[in-house]
């Protein structure tokens, strides 16, 4: 017998590696099966899922530079230098207008899939068929259909059996389409000659590209963008990225050329106006010379001409600047130029004006850049509009102030010149008229030459325009797919397959509230364990211990008989009280066979049926019921009238309970019961008292005064774990005499006997060791249903 003290405050218990293996080894087949199922599912997924491949390229974004050396102020005005804003460039690369151009260049309005038995694969670029849309009911809507190629000349549509010829016009949902056969592409490489055709508008094609496109900045310090595109077709990904970078490059060049063209148009308009003015001045000069016969009087007015010439030069410069100011003011006031670039200061060296014009042109370009990715009603665009309007007002005010300053300087020079002219009143007035006409001609000629020079510079700039982007690394595809990743899929499904049974086992262990193993009993109570009784499959009789019985259960009862000698000592007669927590734990079965094993030892034994509420001893032994304990207590029967000998068992007797009384608890307190126990002790050496469960009624406590020891029955898989707390209280408070535990209905399997060797493999003393008789409980049933049940029990019970 094993007596073991435990720490009651410990709510968990640890088991050794050997116990762990024997406890959970029975679940290993399910873990292996589920793991194999997960492996098979992973293989099926990898076999039929569409692999996705990644294509990657790199793009360098440089600061804008037009590549020629020219007038700095003119360049800053018309071609402002800005640092690359990578966030804007990433937004442009992912913008739908740009992707529409890519889709149009690659003809991605038409997408073809080869339909297999279980999956379809994207076909690109060598497609054996082609589709042309001659007329669309609604260009904003797409359509799709399946083409079953019968031969090089005929096909069927969807599930329709009607045969069509390649090239003929078909009415499909109101759309007129033609399906043609590309005979240069062979059908043999395809699994089936069946193709799914998807025709979509450019907006949908752009969305298709946007779904696989990723644009990122690998390093915050560098102006490099990384472009990736995920697709099931690597060739498509290569073409998309290469075309995207090419379209982006051409878009930047178009923007720069548009600025140059706008400047050239402005200069051409002004040159045309100046040519008209020059023609008029030259005509006036010719008429004046012919009409007035004017001559240069150098000898007489040499000194005055030198002074007047210097004044004229300064007046000419001021006139040019005032004209330029007027032209810029007209351009700014023109409502048609609200969102156009302000051309140039054209020689006006005023820092305030230059700063305003540069800021205005920068915001105009920023507004155009944002309009590529957003609408005109966006809050950003509206804010830029307001800023442009404010700067235009500032430019007007600056031009007004500059013109006023030039006018003051001009008036001062004119006053000086007037003083000099007054000294030349003796000179012919006709010569002075000629000088004025000549001065106006000089002003227009200088202005014309200046604008002509700027036009040449603008033309050179337009011809030498290059993009500010450079392809660092062209599109390159990866050999291995990015989805699905074989190792991850196998690991995930395998782990899932293993975790499902493990989780199920864990859930069973968590939800199980019944006693399952000897370790649980030892953990939760310090009461000694008397022994273990295995499961008996013989339901015909409750008596399994016979004279020549060598079954496992019979030998276990013999072990219990030996252990009782250490519990009860040498007290004579030996009175044993048998109880349990509640009904159904096998208390009567234990009492019957415990009495039988005592009788086989040569001791005269009696089993007293004290469970008078629910008696089972007599019926379990298939005995005829006679007068019993209740009859004796009320004086209706004598001691001899109650005794019933068990047939085939020498020295074994039973005292039935008799009729079930209405007040069993009070009847067990009657003085007649003391007389009965005196007579029993006088005639028998061993007394087995089968009492009612202590967890339900108090009968066992009333009878405990007659007992030398108590056998408390616990049934595996039946007794609740919380009942062990009751047992511990009974043991610690000594409410029952010499209490010890007997584990009943212990089933083979589950590692229960793994460390004890009574019934399982243990130390080699199991059912197959030759020490025991094989019974129906240990033999395999020939009934397939029964064998399946036994297999299930070995795995889960």
**Per-residue pLDDT tens digits for 122-140:** 999 999 999 999 999 988 8
Task: Compute the average pLDDT of residues 354-365.
Answer: 82
Residue 795 has pLDDT above 60, yes or no: no
Q: What is the pLDDT of residue 563?
A: 87
Distance CA(171)–CA(179), nearest Å, equals: 11
Task: Compute the average pLDDT of residues 269-277.
Answer: 78
Distance CA(237)–CA(228), nearest Å, equals: 8
**Residue 67 corresponds to which tokens in the numbers above?**
């590549």
| Global confidence as pTM | 0.52
DSSP string, 527-569: SPEEEEEE-----S-S----TT---HHHHHHHHHHHHHHHHHT
Q: Which range among 411-415, 500-504, 687-691 has the greatest average pLDDT?
A: 687-691
Task: Compute the average pLDDT of residues 755-776.
Answer: 44
Confidence of residue 23 (pLDDT cuts 50, 70, 90): low
- Which residues, 6 or more positions from 293, have their beta carbon under 8 angstroms from its beta carbon? 430
Confidence of residue 9 (pLDDT cuts 50, 70, 90): very low
Residue 472 has pLDDT above 50, yes or no: yes
Q: How many CB atoms lie within 10 A of CB 174?
A: 10
Given a contact cutoff of 8 angstroms between Cβ atoms, the answer to whether 531 and 1 are in contact is yes
Q: What is the pLDDT of residue 16?
A: 55
Confidence of residue 515 (pLDDT cuts 50, 70, 90): confident
418-441: b (≥16 Cβ within 10 Å) or e: eebbeebeebeeebeebbebebbb
Task: Compute the average pLDDT of residues 494-516.
Answer: 82
Q: In terms of pLDDT, which residue wins out, 11 or 522?
A: 522
For 231-253, the three-class secondary structure string (H helix, E strand, C coil) is: ECCHHHHHHHHHHHHHHHHHHHH
pLDDT tens sequence across 188-233: 888 889 999 999 999 999 999 999 999 998 888 888 999 999 999 9
Helix spans in 586-628 (H): 587-600, 617-620
Q: What is the pLDDT of residue 653?
A: 94
Task: Compute the average pLDDT of residues 625-642.
Answer: 89
Q: What is the pLDDT of residue 294?
A: 53
Task: Compute the average pLDDT of residues 394-421.
Answer: 82
Q: What is the pLDDT of residue 794?
A: 52
Residue 329 has pLDDT above 60, yes or no: yes
State the distance between the two ends of the chain, measured CA to CA, in whole angstroms.
26
Q: Which range among 68-72, 252-256, 431-435 has the greatest average pLDDT?
A: 252-256
Q: In terms of pLDDT, which residue wins out, 682 or 78?
A: 682
Pairing of strands 53-61, 469-477: antiparallel
Look at 54-63, 617-626, 706-715, 773-782 and tell me which has the smallest mean pLDDT: 773-782
- Determine whether 134 is exposed, middle or buried from the number of CB atoms within 10 Å of its CB (0-12, 13-18, 19+): exposed
**Kind and range of the H or E run holding 217:** none
Residue 483 has pLDDT above 70, yes or no: yes
Task: Compute the average pLDDT of residues 615-632.
Answer: 88
Q: In degrees, to the nearest 5, what angle opens at C-alpha 410 toward C-alphas 409 and 415?
A: 100
Look at 274-283, 428-437, 514-523, 559-568 and tell me which has the smallest mean pLDDT: 428-437
Q: What is the pLDDT of residue 449?
A: 81
Q: What is the pLDDT of residue 203?
A: 92
Q: What is the pLDDT of residue 433?
A: 64
Q: What is the pLDDT of residue 82?
A: 43
Confidence of residue 253 (pLDDT cuts 50, 70, 90): confident
Q: What is the pLDDT of residue 687?
A: 94
Look at 140-149, 286-295, 678-687 and tell me which has the smallest mean pLDDT: 286-295
Handedness of CA 538, 539, 541, 542 (dihedral sign): positive
Q: In terms of pLDDT, which residue wins out, 458 or 782?
A: 458
Given a contact cutoff of 8 angstroms between Cβ atoms, the answer to whether 727 and 712 are in contact is yes
Confidence of residue 50 (pLDDT cuts 50, 70, 90): confident
Which residue shows structure tokens 């005509």? 283
pLDDT tens sequence across 742-761: 999 887 654 444 333 344 43
Residue 377 has pLDDT above 80, yes or no: yes
Distance CA(566)–CA(404), nearest Å, equals: 128
Distance CA(222)–CA(248), nearest Å, equals: 19
Residue 765 has pLDDT above 50, yes or no: no
Share of the chain above pLDDT 70, in %: 80
Task: Compute the average pLDDT of residues 294-306.
Answer: 60
CA distances from 250 to 244, 257, 467 (A): 10, 10, 7
Given a contact cutoff of 8 angstroms between Cβ atoms, the answer to whether 424 and 304 are in contact is yes
Which of helix, strand or coil describes residue 671? helix
CA distances from 74 to 267, 342, 613 (A): 13, 11, 116
Q: In terms of pLDDT, which residue wins out, 336 or 228?
A: 228
Locate the domains of the chain by residue range. Answer: 17-49+484-511, 252-473, 518-796
Residue 65 has pLDDT above 80, yes or no: no
- Average per-residue pLDDT for the chain: 80
Confidence of residue 84 (pLDDT cuts 50, 70, 90): low
Residue 423 has pLDDT above 70, yes or no: no
Q: In terms of pLDDT, which residue wins out, 318 or 608?
A: 608
Look at 417-431, 486-500, 725-739 and tell me which has the smallest mean pLDDT: 417-431
Residue 10 has pLDDT above 50, yes or no: no
Q: In degrees, to the nearest 5, what angle opens at C-alpha 169 toward C-alphas 166 and 174?
A: 135
Look at 215-229, 300-314, 493-507, 738-752 and tell me which has the smallest mean pLDDT: 300-314
Task: Compute the average pLDDT of residues 25-32.
Answer: 81
Q: In terms of pLDDT, which residue wins out, 788 or 193?
A: 193
Q: In degrees, to the nearest 5, what angle opens at C-alpha 748 toward C-alphas 742 and 752?
A: 60
102, 106, 107, 108 alpha-carbon torsion, rounded to 10°:
-70
Q: What is the pLDDT of residue 461?
A: 62
Domain 518-796 has CATH 3.40.50.300: yes
Q: What is the pLDDT of residue 12?
A: 41
């Amino acid at each position: 017998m094993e007596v073991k003290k435990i720490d009651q405050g410990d709510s968990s218990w640890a088991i050794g590696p050997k116990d762990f293996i024997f406890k959970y080894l029975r679940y290993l087949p399910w873990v292996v099966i589920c793991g194999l199922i997960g492996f098979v599912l992973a293989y099926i997924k990898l076999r039929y899922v569409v692999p996705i491949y990644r294509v990657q390229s790199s793009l360098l974004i440089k600061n804008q530079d037009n590549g020629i050396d020219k007038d700095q102020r003119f360049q800053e005005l018309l071609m402002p230098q800005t640092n690359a804003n990578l966030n804007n460039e990433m937004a442009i690369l992912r913008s739908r207008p740009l992707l529409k151009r890519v889709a149009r260049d690659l003809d991605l309005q038409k997408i073809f899939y080869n339909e297999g038995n279980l999956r379809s694969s994207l076909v690109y670029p060598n497609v054996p068929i082609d589709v042309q849309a001659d007329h669309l009911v609604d260009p904003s809507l797409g359509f799709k259909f399946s083409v079953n190629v019968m031969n090089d000349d005929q096909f069927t549509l969807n599930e329709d059996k009607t045969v069509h010829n390649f090239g003929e016009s078909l009415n499909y949902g109101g759309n007129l389409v033609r399906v043609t056969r590309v005979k240069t592409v062979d059908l043999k490489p395809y699994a089936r000659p069946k193709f799914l055709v998807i025709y979509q508008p450019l907006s949908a094609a752009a969305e298709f590209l946007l779904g696989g496109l990723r644009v990122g900045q690998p390093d915050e310090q560098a102006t490099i963008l990384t472009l990736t595109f995920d697709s099931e077709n690597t060739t498509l990904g290569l073409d998309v990225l290469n075309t995207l970078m090419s379209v982006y490059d051409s878009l930047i060049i178009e923007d720069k050329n548009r600025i140059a063209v706008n400047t050239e148009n402005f200069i051409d308009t002004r040159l045309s106006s100046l040519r008209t003015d020059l023609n008029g001045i030259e005509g006036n000069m010719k008429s004046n010379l012919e009409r007035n016969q004017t001559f240069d009087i150098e000898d007489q007015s040499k000194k005055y001409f030198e002074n007047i010439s210097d004044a004229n030069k300064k007046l000419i410069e001021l006139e040019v600047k005032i004209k330029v100011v007027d032209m810029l003011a007209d351009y700014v006031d023109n409502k048609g130029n609200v969102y156009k670039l302000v051309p140039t200061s054209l020689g006006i060296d005023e820092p305030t004006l230059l700063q305003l014009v540069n800021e205005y042109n920068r915001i105009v370009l920023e507004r155009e850049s944002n309009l590529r990715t957003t609408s005109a009603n966006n809050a950003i665009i509206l804010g830029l509009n307001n800023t442009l309007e404010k700067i235009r007002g500032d430019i007007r005010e600056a031009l007004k102030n500059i013109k006023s300053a030039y006018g003051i300087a001009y008036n001062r020079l004119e006053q000086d010149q007037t003083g000099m002219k007054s000294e030349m009143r003796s000179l012919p007035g006709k010569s002075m008229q000629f000088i004025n006409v000549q001065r106006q001609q000089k002003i227009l000629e200088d202005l014309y030459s200046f604008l002509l020079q700027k036009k040449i510079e603008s033309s050179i700039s337009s011809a030498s325009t290059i993009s500010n982007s450079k392809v660092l690394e062209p599109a390159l595809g990866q050999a291995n797919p990015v989805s699905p990743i074989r190792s991850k899929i196998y690991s995930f499904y395998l782990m899932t397959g293993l975790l499902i049974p493990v989780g199920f086992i864990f859930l069973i262990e968590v939800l199980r509230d019944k006693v399952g193993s000897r370790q649980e009993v030892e953990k939760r109570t310090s009461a000694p364990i008397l022994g273990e009784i295995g499961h008996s499959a013989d339901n015909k009789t409750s008596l399994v211990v016979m004279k020549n019985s060598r079954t496992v259960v019979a030998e276990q009862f013999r072990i219990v008989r030996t252990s009782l000698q250490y519990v009860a000592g040498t007290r004579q007669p030996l009175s044993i009280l048998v109880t349990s927590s509640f009904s159904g734990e096998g208390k009567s079965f234990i009492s019957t066979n415990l009495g039988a094993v005592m009788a086989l030892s040569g001791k005269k034994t009696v089993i007293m049926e004290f469970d008078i509420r629910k008696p089972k001893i007599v019926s379990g032994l298939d005995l005829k019921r006679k007068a019993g304990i209740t009859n004796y207590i009320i004086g209706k029967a004598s001691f001899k009238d109650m005794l019933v000998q068990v047939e085939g068992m020498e020295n074994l007797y039973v005292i039935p309970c008799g009729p079930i009384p209405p007040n069993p608890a009070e009847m067990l307190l009657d003085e007649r019961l003391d007389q009965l126990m005196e007579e029993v002790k006088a005639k028998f050496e061993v007394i087995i008292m089968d009492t009612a469960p202590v967890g339900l009624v108090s009968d066992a406590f009333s009878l405990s005064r007659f007992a030398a020891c108590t056998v408390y029955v616990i049934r595996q898989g039946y007794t609740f774990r919380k009942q062990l707390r009751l047992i511990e209280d009974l043991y610690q408070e000594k409410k029952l005499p010499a209490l010890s535990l007997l584990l009943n209905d212990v089933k083979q399997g589950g590692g229960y006997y793994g460390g004890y060797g009574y019934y399982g493999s243990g130390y080699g003393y199991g059912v197959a060791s030759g020490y025991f008789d094989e019974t129906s409980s240990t033999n395999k049933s020939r009934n397939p249903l029964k064998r399946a049940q036994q297999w299930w029990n070995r795995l889960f019970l």
